Amino acid sequence: MAPRTDALTREVVDLIATVVARYHEEYEEAAAKHALTGAQAKVLALLARESLPMRRIAQLLKCEPSNVTGIVDRLEARGLVERRPDPDDRRIKLAAATPAGLDTAGRLSESLDFAREPLAALSAEERGVLRDLLRRMLEPGA
């Protein structure tokens, strides 16, 4: 096992911590620009791609389904999302973005791209190297 006191490893961990912190700041900031909280922005972004059952949203957010109820409630109250029945299973409620929700999600996505692009201010080749390293880092380690 690599020693925990390895200066290089420690520095990489610190840098990652910084990336994480900055990413979060920018995400929350971009969401706030559209009067959304971070959680609401995440759900809206998910639903902009496809309608999802409540339970599936909970899985993706790694939280309890009962929590999703509240988040979708608030999005629905603002007309950004609606609940629709699943034709194949009447237990399921599909949360779907409304046209207004799609519009907001689109502008949100632009804000995010805009905010994150400075992070990728590396040459194409460097971005490729970074991609490979990140991929390897995230590989399912035993």
Residues lying near a second copy in the complex (CB under 8 A)? 1-2, 4, 8-9, 11-13, 15-20, 22-25, 62, 110, 113-114, 116-122, 124, 126-131, 133-138, 141
Contact of residue 91 among DNA, a second copy, none (CB under 5-8 Å per partner type):
DNA
Contact (CB, 8 A) for 72 and 54:
yes
Considering only residues 45 to 84 of the shown chain, the ones binding DNA according to CB under 7 A are 53-56, 61-74, 83
Can you say whether the dihedral through the CA atoms of 125, 130, 131, 137 is positive or negative?
A: positive
Which member of 25, 37, 60, 132 binds DNA (CB under 7 A)? 37
Contact of residue 39 among DNA, a second copy, none (CB under 5-8 Å per partner type):
DNA
Closest CA to 83 of 98, 99, 91, 95: 95
CB atoms within 10 A of CB 97: 23
Tokens of 79: 């007309």
Q: Which is nearer to DNA, 48 or 68 (CB)?
A: 68
**Shortest reach from residue 30's CB to DNA, in Å:** 14
Q: Which residues pair with 89 in a beta bridge?
A: 86
